[in-house]
Amino acid sequence: MCGVMRVSIELRGPLRAPEGGKNLSLELPSGVTVQEALAKSLKYPPEQIRHLLVTRDGESLPLSRKLLEDSRIQVFLRLGGG
């Protein structure tokens, strides 16, 4: 399909998708950014997910990075308390 690509997202730690589950496989518009992919998959406004660390193959990805077809990204929640 023109203009659509598949992205795999693995949620780590306490993160969960709204429908449940930790592994998502999504069809998204080509050229979507990391932040857009997360906002769509996690259904939260982009400004509320700034504490996420997103990696691909051990490399940290900025939220503005455009994803490529068949991207497999891992998402960690930076958390802490005291």
Partner 1 sequence: MKRKIFSEVSKGVRKVDAVALATGQPVYTDDFDIPGMLHGKILRSPLAHARIKSIRTTKARRMPGVEAVITWRDVPRIAVTTAGQGYPEPSPYDKFIFDNKVRFVGDEVALVVADTEEAAERALGAIEVEYEELEPLLDVRKALKKGAPVVHDEKDCRVIIPIPYEPRRNLVARVDAAIGNVDKAYKASEIRIDREYENHISAHSAIEPHCSLAYLDPNGRLTIVSSTQVPYHVRRIVARAMDIPVKRVRVIKPRLGGGFGSKQDIVLEPYVAAATLKTGKPVKIRMTREEVFVSSRTRHGMVTNIKIGAGRDGTINAIDLHALSNTGAYGNHGLTVACNVGMRTLVMFACSNMRFTSDVAYTNLPNAGAYRGYGGTQGILPTACAIDELAVKLGMDPVDVLLKNIIAPGAEVPILNELGEGATTGAPRIGSFELAACLRVGSREFGWKRKLARKKDSGRYRRGVGMSPMIQGSSIPYIDMASAFIKMNDDGSFNLNLGATDIGQGSDTVLAQIAAETLTVATDDIIVYASDTDLTPFDVGAYASSTTYLSGRAVKKTAEKVKELILKVGAEMLETSPDRVRLEKAKVIGSDGASVTLKQVGTYSLYEKHQFQIAACESSTSEESPPPTAAHFVEIEVDTLTGRIKVLSYLQAVECGTPINPALCHGQVMGAVVNGLSYALVERFIFNSRGKLLNPNYDYFKIFCSRDRLPIKTIFVPSYEETGPYGAKSVGEVCINGPMPAISNAIYNALGIRMFSAPFTPEKVLDAIAKQGMK
Q: Which residues bind partner 1 (CB under 8 A)?
A: 11-18, 20, 42-44, 48-51, 53, 55, 58-60, 76-82
58: Cβ–Cβ under 8 A, 6 or more apart, which residues? none
User: In the complex, what is the shortest distance from the CB of residue 33 to partner 1, in angstroms, rounded to a whole number?
Assistant: 17
User: In the complex, what is the shortest distance from the CB of residue 31 to partner 1, in angstroms, rounded to a whole number?
Assistant: 23
What are φ and ψ of residue 41, in 5° steps? -80, -35
| DSSP state at residue 47 | G
| Cβ closest to partner 1, residue 28 vs residue 39 | 39
Q: How many residues does the chain have?
A: 82
